[in-house]
Structure 1
């Protein structure tokens, strides 16, 4: 499928990847036989090339139906779909689907195929040769943070839920599509794994600049991932289509306010990333270091605590000076396990939650393979919270002043008219 030649149809991709393509939905409607009202009614939406757009709304509002009409897993009853300026409404739907990445909840991997075979599926269908396909599988596994040598020969049942979802994303991106559709892809994993998968998607999008349309019922997830959010009513009627910050600070009506919920200032922590604040170094040792070196460091008085890294330099446990009494010939019984880590692409809200659940008062920051980079502490995060709260108070005061001035003008005009 061509992604169009219009100047605004494509985004600039990095690392030789195909760029994202613009998407236009024009009067898109789905009416199932025997039902009085359409499931999706006359949707108009313009999605920019390289943009992540989130569809969020109550269950049954038609958001997944709208998504599936883009690659025609569900055929529209009427309306047009343009991708990169090209009308794809009447093209061969199988050809269309092979040119659009698609990731779903629970990954949708074929259980009888290895990881490598799952990822290679679409490249082989579109005619890539064996060598190019093999290299692409290796590249995709590395891209989603899985060691090709360790994972290429495994079967889905041998993977954790989070690993399966990473492979699902790798498969969706394998043939280098300009568009990636994602239907609640992280809904079936635990909250910590979900946070890390969201961070991984943010990192991938920063590198690849695909056009992503993502369905979720979780407004916090929408804020975290989206360049723009479409809040949908019944039949996919658009209540508001705007940036996360605009929706948080100025919801269009009570329906949208209900999705925003309480604590808008704290939700705005989802708009800032760990990379936006200071990540500092912290004393570290490794599980391979001689015990005497660890003892000397903790007894030197320069630090009361060190972060123990495993043999892959991943955060393992916190070791404090008063833990030394438990150390005999190994570190096995001493120290407190690291409960959570965050990446540079994690939101400040994720980081704050991780810090508050860890007795150390800080959270390790890690790279794409979980390797230690630095730490973010509670003081840094609380300063960010206070700045957001103060900004909200300033906005509220300015809004109140504008209302007062408007009311005063109205009163003056009424008096002049008497």
Structure 2
């Protein structure tokens, strides 16, 4: 039976009065946290530096031992079991991947399955499956060492290693914090895609509220000592922050932040005339002439966006595409947010961005008009919601005034 047929889905997590005290400190680092996380849910801990969010995360797999309280995973109290066995059942991914530099990619991914006694053939198949899952070619990458990978590739391997033994729970401690913004966006999209396929229970720590909105099914906004200021859906927190502390995290422009709640797959992706690097130059000329547009998209041998070619570029090509056109600087996936797409479009003077699949293959294009229509719809929805809230407030005040007047009238009669 293939691994995917027996894949473990997520497990529920319950934290009951979870506390951590360090010797010599007058206040606990984490103070009596109570939380229920549903199976298959992606929950994000977000809060200021030093608030205890990473400490809380590490207590779930007991990398940090709790001083008090209980941890239950799928109803089983794991507070007193062997912490090493627990860690083998809980995936863990950290910033800068945490890969062992003296081990190959395959050896890093195989680490936990080897510890728990999987056969060599099963481990070999699993390594290939995991690399495919995170969008890396097994033949190309499994024999490499971490130093031979880019930062984004290292993070992908780190996630593959964390998922290798098929744990129901995955803990992620600022895993994308050390990569550049474009790579970070793509890694976030990859995690969203993986979660759609795997349905693990993921607890994710970040200090970036925009990342929390983009990834989380629910967000726990934490104060000092991991006190929960608000634990709710991203939309609820954006539209109805619990207090001034949460409002400070939301910041200005809540309507625009809601662009992180809508995905590229939810809007119109248009087709675009394309050619490949293997097409004869005359065919490319003909396609551009017949397309009715001023440009076409050149795809590489794997069907990935490579260059934008305009009519003037073709006139200067002189029998070669080597110097013609403009390299595609950015793409988005269908799991990217509208905010990601809008940022990509705004940095491109032609006002469009190519949409790609899991292997980077071309799918379509999203343009400025589509994105701006979505922004206007969100702003209009916010305006109507604000008007309704104001109307309800006025009605409540009128009822309160009426009740007070009735009460005053009754007192006078008495």
TM-score by length of 1: 0.96
Shift of 1:407: 1.4
Of the three residues 136, 150, 175, the one matched with 1:160 is 150
- Does 1:124 find its partner at 2:114? yes
Shift of 1:417: 2.6
Shift of 1:140: 0.1
Q: Is contact 1:23–1:82 with CA below 8 Å preserved after alignment?
A: yes
Distance 2:155 2:306 in 1: 24
Distance 1:148 1:28 in 2: 41
Superposed counterparts of 1:183-202, under 5 Å: 183-202=173-192
Shift of 1:302: 2.3
Q: Is contact 2:262–2:337 with CA below 8 Å preserved after alignment?
A: yes
Superposed counterparts of 1:12-411, under 5 Å: 15-300=5-290, 302-411=292-401
**Quick one: structure 1 residues 14 and 260, their matched pair in 2 at CA, closer, same or farther if it must change by over 3 Å?**
farther
Distance 1:127 1:324 in 2: 59
Shift of 1:78: 0.4
Shift of 1:49: 0.3
Deviations 1:317-340 (A, max 9, x none): 110112122201211111111111
Distance 2:316 2:100 in 1: 48
Distance 2:138 2:81 in 1: 36
**Quick one: structure 1 residues 14 and 415, their matched pair in 2 at CA, closer, same or farther if it must change by over 3 Å?**
farther
Distance 2:237 2:383 in 1: 17
Q: Which stretch shifts more, 357-366 or 256-265?
A: 357-366
Shift of 1:406: 1.3
Q: Which stretch shifts more, 33-42 or 346-355?
A: 346-355
Distance 1:217 1:163 in 2: 22
Q: Is contact 1:278–1:380 with CA below 8 Å preserved after alignment?
A: yes
Deviations 1:398-418 (A, max 9, x none): 111111111112222222233
DSSP-derived class of the 2:220 partner: strand
Q: Is contact 1:14–1:207 with CA below 8 Å preserved after alignment?
A: no
Q: Which stretch shifts more, 375-384 or 132-141?
A: 375-384
TM-score by length of 2: 0.97
DSSP-derived class of the 2:382 partner: helix
Q: Is contact 1:14–1:208 with CA below 8 Å preserved after alignment?
A: no
Q: Is contact 2:95–2:175 with CA below 8 Å preserved after alignment?
A: yes
Q: Is contact 2:46–2:205 with CA below 8 Å preserved after alignment?
A: yes
Shift of 1:19: 1.0
Deviations 1:34-77 (A, max 9, x none): 00000000000000000000000000000000000000000000
Q: Is contact 1:182–1:215 with CA below 8 Å preserved after alignment?
A: yes
The structure 1 segments of at least 4 consecutive aligned residues displaced by more than 6 Å after TM superposition are: none
Q: Is contact 2:260–2:338 with CA below 8 Å preserved after alignment?
A: yes
Q: Is contact 2:273–2:291 with CA below 8 Å preserved after alignment?
A: no
Distance 1:324 1:21 in 2: 56
Shift of 1:360: 2.3
Distance 1:301 1:233 in 2: 56
**Quick one: structure 1 residues 403 and 154, their matched pair in 2 at CA, closer, same or farther if it must change by over 3 Å?**
same
